[in-house]
Structure 1
Amino acid sequence: MAATSARALKLLSIFGIGATLTAEELATRLGTSVRTVRRDIDTLRDLGYEIGAVRGAGGGYRLGRATRLPPVVFDEDQAVATAVALQTVPAVLSGIRENAARALATLHQAMPARSRSHAEAFTVSSARNYWEFPAPPIDAETVRAVGSAINRRHLVRVDYAGDGEPVTLTLEPHDLVVWAARWYLVAFDPDAGRWRAMRVDRCRPHPPTHASFARRDIPHGDPVAFVMSAPDRGDAAADWPCRGSAVLALPASTVARFAPGGSTVEYDTETTCRLTLGAWSWPGLAGLLLTFDADLTGIEPAELRQALHSVHTRISRGLSSGQPEERQDRAAAPGP
């Protein structure tokens, strides 16, 4: 019985990769006979796991969707990854902290001593780093509603709070992207005939539509690349003690890709855009603008202009103070 249970658990772990495998392939991996593999598959089915038989070329067995929630089997690395994820998810999803804590406690209780020791070595505490410019955690119910529509390929109706009054949109939702601690919906707007990258925390989903749609090809062929290069993705300048803007001599799509979270990018021309962002000090804000290594114009407000002047003065003074020493070093260096 112990050998059978251990073999069934290993079989379940193999099925967990999502592949379709023949009975012969499974027997080879388990070091047993095809007949034994089929008997173990029946055991797993009795426990509530839906293991389907795929016929024809390339057929075999694969793990399907369970009709009830059966026990879950993790190997040690999977358990550690799950433990870390459960500790960090409350930083990006609200209303889930208690459930994540209970799931983590259940996971630890179910682990053997060795695996539990490894998982507990990854005990972490999440804290805000001001360079991350994070957004507040998003409501898990909103993510669930939008994600369900994506999974089922159903149209979704949302009230979207953009720059002006909220508008009601009917969208073809394709993907959810988490970037810079923000959730974005990649969707096609059939009424406007264009793609949108939208902040999910600004969406208020209506009841499910149950109306299906056909998937389209996403711009750039990748939802992440689309979100990162979209300047009009619904971001807003974060509430910082110092906030300013400047026109950068770079395309909006380029600046949008590298702008810190909590900033906004506005299209100006094909080769310029206005970046609005904040920081904890005016020199800090000036430093963020300088990281783009581009010409700056239209700098606002006056405090930001003064900070840039101060940075320029300090850098010039530092370079000037180093020149005599550099000349001496060159003079003392042996000739060719």
Structure 2
Amino acid sequence: MSDTPGRLLRLLSLLQTGRERTGTELSQLLGVSPRTVRRDIDRLRELGYPVDATIGALGGYRLAAGTAMPPLLLDDDEAVAIAVGLHTAAHGGVTGIEETSLRALAKLEQVLPARLRRRVRALQDTTVPLYGVLTTGGPAPETDPAVLSVLAAACRHGERLRCSYAARDGAVSRRHTEPHRLVSADQRWYLVAYDLDRDDWRTFRADRVFDPRPTGVRAQARTLPAEDAAAFVTASIVGPRARHRAVVTLRTTLEDAAARLPPGTGVLEADGPDRCLLRTGGDALDWLAYRLALLGVPFEVHEPQALVDHLRTVGTRMLDAAR
């Protein structure tokens, strides 16, 4: 999707400072050509923003003082796309700009028309952040903002939803669900919902959801079998049927741990500048111990106790062999 809406917001922010800025200065700050700046200025004027211009070597642009600002005119996809980007950044998508993103998201809501404000608010109200890095491997998938908007509305209104869903092998099935919450994690989005066809709770990757359609039927009140939606997604990533669930501190940076761990290992969370927490699982203690030993970094197992005991037994055996 074009970054024009985001650029216009940035241009408005620069012009609202009250000082006059030249076209060259604006083009450098925005990373675009002076011709693009002129086109964006014209678009703002077409939308009703009073942008004044002065001619000459020292001339430039600024917003007219004392004029009421009209609502920001974005179409549905543009508004939701910006909200998705800001929400992702506010919850760990980009390090260091979390508070700034939250402020920008609040400002965006204020200038949106009521109809779009409701869609953006639904996305905020129904999304639970999962902090950390998923060891899924590869770049984050592209998720359609329009799909997220429909999923968020179904969660907020407690409405059943039908959609097409693509499995990992590419097979597509039609699903009938009761959406509960959206979970944002590591630039990925998950829908936690009750699958009516399978009579159980499920996690759906939002980028694999197609053609979601609300049915108009109210969802039943159900109890999620987890502390919250983020915990449910964590369990599904670690392995819903894993016999052993482990929580381990790795004494290395989050970035280094993510590079060492194979895809699908679990969820990483920073625990200081040179420590991180790994939530993982497996069916066999031998395999869990082997996986941790091969990471090549110091670690401490918090749970389960059975894994601690197994590591102690294996360590004693190794020391005896070394002697």
Q: Provide the TM-score with structure 1 as the length reference.
A: 0.39
Q: With CA pairs under 8 Å and 6+ residues apart, which has the higher RCO, 1 or 2?
A: 2
Q: TM-score, normalised by structure 2?
A: 0.40
Higher radius of gyration, 1 or 2: 1
